[in-house]
């Protein structure tokens, strides 16, 4: 199905700059994970690439936008390599500013959950399915990274600040905006800022998602 007009929220240049910025920050996070795991240079590159591009590739394959955008635009593929190069040589310095990277990562999360949802709508998906793919766009790469690094994906861990919930809220807002025919550059930016702010607040105040109710029951005691 050919894409509809809804896909173009921002101008092509603005969209590309935002995408490359988000891809770069996600790639840095992936490369740092590889360094912490003592991976070699190939491992650093692989984790940088999958963290930055994995969610978008999954989305594009599902909606039928093939080859995925990450393989059509050389800039999308080269940017994670550049991030991996920086981390390979300068990882001690990058680690020292990791709190700042967390902020940019939150911005990438907010951006990708919005643009991913809008692109899924553009290819004919309904609001629930489109929002789900928006979430995948934002957190899918990180999940692949954690699996490859032999860790429980961050989106499943109760002992980490909530990560998926901000993406869910941002994607849900975009779905509502589309359904009410009010999605444009301003409202999309507001949705992205909302998801970003929610994630930053989660980092600041250590917000966690709730676990199963009545975990103190005898059923759970057997597994503690």
The residue count of the chain comes to 224
Question: Can you say whether residue 214 is alpha, beta or left, with left for phi > 0 and alpha for psi between -120 and 50 degrees?
Answer: left
What tokens were used for 114?
Answer: 């919005």
How far is 94 from 98, CA to CA, in rounded Å?
6
Q: What is the pLDDT of residue 215?
A: 64
Task: Give the pLDDT means over successive 10-residue stretches in the chain (224 positions).
Answer: 57 84 92 93 96 96 94 93 94 80 88 94 94 96 94 83 92 95 92 95 89 65 52
Q: How far does the chain reach from its first CA to its final CA, in angstroms?
A: 50
How far is 175 from 135, CA to CA, in rounded Å?
12
Q: How many of the other CB atoms lie within 10 Å of CB of 188? A: 23
Q: What is the pLDDT of residue 165?
A: 93
């Amino acid at each position: 199905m050919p894409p509809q007009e809804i896909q173009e929220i921002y101008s092509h240049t603005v969209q590309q700059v935002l995408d490359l910025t988000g891809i770069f920050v996600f790639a840095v996070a992936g490369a740092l994970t590889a360094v912490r795991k003592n991976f070699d240079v190939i491992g650093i590159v692989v984790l940088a690439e999958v963290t930055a591009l994995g969610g978008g590739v999954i989305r594009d394959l599902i909606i039928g936008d093939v080859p995925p955008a990450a393989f059509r635009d050389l800039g999308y593929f080269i940017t994670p390599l550049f991030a991996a190069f920086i981390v390979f040589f300068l990882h001690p310095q990058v680690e020292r500013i990791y709190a700042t990277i967390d902020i940019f990562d939150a911005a990438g999360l907010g951006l990708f959950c919005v643009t991913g949802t809008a692109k899924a709508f553009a290819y004919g998906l309904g609001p629930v399915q489109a929002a789900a793919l928006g979430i995948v766009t934002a957190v899918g790469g990180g999940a692949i990274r954690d699996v490859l690094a032999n860790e429980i994906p961050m989106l499943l861990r109760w002992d980490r600040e909530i990560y998926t919930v901000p993406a869910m809220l941002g994607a849900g807002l975009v779905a509502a905006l589309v359904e009410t025919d009010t999605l444009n550059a301003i409202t999309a930016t507001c949705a992205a800022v909302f998801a970003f702010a929610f994630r930053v607040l989660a980092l600041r105040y250590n917000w966690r998602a709730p676990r199963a109710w009545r975990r103190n029951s005898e059923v759970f005691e057997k597994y503690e």
